[in-house]
Amino acid sequence: MKNISEIEAEISDWSSFRELIKDTLELSEIADESMRDDIQKEIDRIEIDLAKRELNTFLSGKYDKGNALLALHAGAGGTDSQDWAAMLQRMYLRWSEKKGYKSEILDFTEGEEAGIKSVTISITGQYAYGYLKSEKGVHRLVRLSPFDSAHRRHTSFALVEVLPEVGAGDPDVKINHDDLRIDIFRSSGAGGQNVQKNSTAVRLTHIPSGIVVTCQNERSQIQNRENAMKVLRSRLLEIKEAEKEKRLANLRGDFVKAEWGSQIRSYVMHPYHMVKDHRTDFEMGNTQAVLDGDLDQFIESYLKTI
């Protein structure tokens, strides 16, 4: 019933789009010069809508239409990398806001001096995973360090993980509750200070795989547990898909393991400004605009190559 409802909504949407084009064509045939500007504006809106629909045709994967879980981890580079991870968090939250998506921080670990060590964010909205999957990988920042007294140039790294949100009833992921160890503890803030008197933070350990998931951002233990299960299901699906992909690639004879350090994108702020995606060679000179969430052109150029 859910699939039928989605297909009916899509058909209705395309029918409305077709009628809009038809009405615009008919109006253009009878319009006089005074209506030229209004018709041109309508044509521009149609072309923008059509470009979005064309991009969505590249998102035909099973989970592409659904929500996403975004996890950021500071890499090599100490405080600079932790600050870089915080900059990426802000970038993706800005991008999510511009797309009209809902974002919720599920787990958050602050850096020792600045920034963050890691954060897990739930991004809710149509095609959230389909778009964000292009961001998966290592992101590199080159800049004059604000944490270096000599103000020297530093290179920082952060890892971006993107997982599809998997529902509790998804047949691809089945979790035996006997395989789980559940620990309850108090949420903590910077410096180890307790931010809650009650034990609401939840740590799930999936014994067969060794995966550990922590959620402590909500005030409710039940809600933290639900969020932790959501992340665990997504991570188990990632393992399953990776194993399947590895078996297929081994049959083809061209499996190459992705290693930490092979960045997908570089953000340069010194000695010049440029953001370059190393997979597509697409680049932009306005680094600040990208860090403010202007990612659509990078996402589109990647989706059109896969």
- Given a cut of 70, is residue 261 above it in pLDDT? no
pLDDT score for 259: 43
Percent of the chain topping pLDDT 70:
92
Neighbours of 51 (CB within 10 A): 11
Listed range (67-76, 103-112, 118-127, 214-223) with the worst mean pLDDT: 214-223
- Domain 68-165+264-303 and domain 177-252, same fold? Reply is no
Statement: residue 179 has pLDDT above 80:
yes
pLDDT at 253: 57
Locate 242 and state its tokens. Answer: 């990776």
The predicted model scores a pTM of: 0.81
Structural domain spans, the chain: 2-56, 68-165+264-303, 177-252
**Mean pLDDT score, 27-46:** 90
In this model, does residue 202 exceed pLDDT 50?
A: yes
- pLDDT at 250 (0 to 100): 66
Average pLDDT for 3-31: 91
Confidence label for 197 from pLDDT (cuts 50, 70 and 90): low
Q: Decide which of 95 and 194 is more confident.
A: 95
**Looking at 185-194, 243-252, 253-262, which range is the least confident one?**
253-262
> What is the per-residue pLDDT for 57?
86
pLDDT band at 130 (very low <50, low <70, confident <90, very high): very high
Q: What is the pLDDT of residue 132?
A: 96
Nearby residues of 197 by Cβ (< 8 Å), 6 or more positions away: 186
**pLDDT band for position 189 (50/70/90)?**
low
CB atoms within 10 A of CB 61: 13
Of 118, 95, 115, 114, the closest CA to residue 105 belongs to 118
Residue 155: its H or E element:
strand 153-164
How far apart are alpha carbons 94 and 182 in whole angstroms?
34
- pLDDT tens for residues 58-107? 888 889 999 999 999 998 778 999 999 999 999 999 999 999 999 999 99
- Mean pLDDT over 177-201 rounds to 72
Q: Measure CA of the first residue to CA of the last residue in the chain; give whole Å.
A: 31
Provide mean pLDDT across the span 199-219.
89
Among 223, 229, 77, 55, smallest CA distance to 145 is for 77
Residue type, 110: E
* pLDDT given at position 258: 38
pLDDT of residue 219: 76
pLDDT at 254: 46
CATH code linked to domain 177-252: 3.30.160.20
Domain 68-165+264-303, CATH class in plain words: alpha beta
- pLDDT bin (cut points 50, 70, 90) of residue 14 is very high
